[in-house]
Amino acid sequence: MKIGLLFPGQGSQFIGMGKDFYENSNKAKEMFEEASDAIKVDFKKLMFEENEDINKTEFTQPAILLFSAIAYELFKENIDFEYSYSLGHSLGEFSALYSAGALNLSEAIKLVHNRGKLMNEAFKDKVGSMMVVLGLDDEVVEEVCKNSNLQVWPANYNSDGQIVIAGIKEDLEKLEPLLKEKGAKRVMLLNMSVASHCPLLESATKPLRELLEEYLKDEFLDVVSNVTAKKYNTKKEALELLPIQLTKPVLYKQSIKNYEDEVEKFVEFGGKVLMGINRKITKKKTIPIVDMKSLEKAISEVK
Kindly list the catalytic residues. Answer: 90, 197
- Name the residue range of residue 110's domain: 2-123+199-302
Least confident window among 37-41, 82-86, 234-238: 82-86
Looking at the structure, tell me whether residues 155 and 255 fall in a common domain. no
Residues, the chain: 303
Looking at the structure, tell me whether residues 69 and 216 fall in a common domain. yes
CA 86 – CA 98 distance, rounded (Å): 9
Over the range 119-142, which residues count as b (16 or more CB within 10 Å of their CB) and which as e?
beebbeeeebbbbbbebbebebbb
- What residues pair up with 123 in beta bridges, in sequence order? none
Sorted by sequence, the CB contacts under 8 Å of residue 261 that are 6+ apart come out as none
The stretch 97-105 carries a mean pLDDT of 98
Tell me the per-residue pLDDT of 277-287, one tens digit each, with 9 for 90 and over: 999 999 999 99
The stretch 224-243 carries a mean pLDDT of 98
User: What's the whole-model pTM score?
Assistant: 0.96
Looking at the structure, tell me whether residues 246 and 100 fall in a common domain. yes
Establish if 164 belongs to a structural domain: yes
Sorted by sequence, the CB contacts under 8 Å of residue 164 that are 6+ apart come out as 130, 131, 132, 133, 154, 155, 156, 158, 190
- Average per-residue pLDDT for the chain: 96
Looking at the structure, tell me whether residues 101 and 211 fall in a common domain. yes
Order of strands, edge to edge, in the sheet holding 286-289?
231-234, 219-224, 82-88, 2-7, 265-269, 286-289
Per the structure, the count of domains in the chain is: 2
Cα dihedral sign, 293-295-301-303: negative
CATH of the domain at 160: 3.30.70.250
Establish if 286 belongs to a structural domain: yes
Looking at the structure, tell me whether residues 204 and 172 fall in a common domain. no
CATH of the domain at 27: 3.40.366.10
